[in-house]
Amino acid sequence: MDMLLARVISDSKETLGRLIVFGKNIRIIFDCATLEPPWLDNKKNISCIPVGLYRVKHRYSEKYEHHLVLIDVNGREYILIHWGNYYSDTEGCIIVGTHHKDINKDGKLDVVNSRRTFNNLMVLVKDETDMSLRICYTCRERGQI
């Protein structure tokens, strides 16, 4: 199963984007909003990861239960796709939701309906063993293109 994370807005606090999951014949079968930390030179726990192509596997932890993890991220480990709402809920991971909205009125966009969106994604990929995620920028920010 192929996935694409298109980063569209990035500033000093957060990076916002869209996660698109493709089915057979390159048909879009899932689309959601994403939230990551800003680009801070791939520093552990505070930066989004570099653009590129990553393998994705299923993983289990007490905190997030069944979730997804990106494999072979240069210089990093445990880059997860999980639920959360605010940029403070991620330590380098990718958070999913239905859309972006300033929930807590701090002037920054958050992701909404994250647990429901995450659960829908997990149902969709539950039997998948061959998953990949391509991360790219659709905006020019922080010299990432």
In whole numbers, what is the pLDDT of the chain averaged over residues? 93
Let me know if residue 145 belongs to a domain. Answer: no
Report whether pLDDT(143) > 70: no
CB hemisphere CA count around 97 (13 angstroms):
23
d(C-alpha 77, C-alpha 10), whole Å: 22
Task: Give the model confidence (pLDDT) of 26-82 as tens digits.
Answer: 899 999 999 999 999 999 999 999 999 999 999 999 999 999 999 999 999 999 999
142 falls within a domain? no
pLDDT of the residue at 142: 46
Examine residue 143 and state whether it is found in any structural domain, yes or no: no
> Which range of residues forms the domain containing residue 49?
2-137
Total H helices, total E strands in the chain: 1, 10
Structural domains counted in the chain: 1
| Whole-structure pTM value | 0.92
How far, in Å, CA of 46 to CA of 33, rounded?
A: 20
What does DSSP say about strands 65-71 and 99-101: parallel, antiparallel, or unpaired?
unpaired
Residue at 144 is within a domain? no
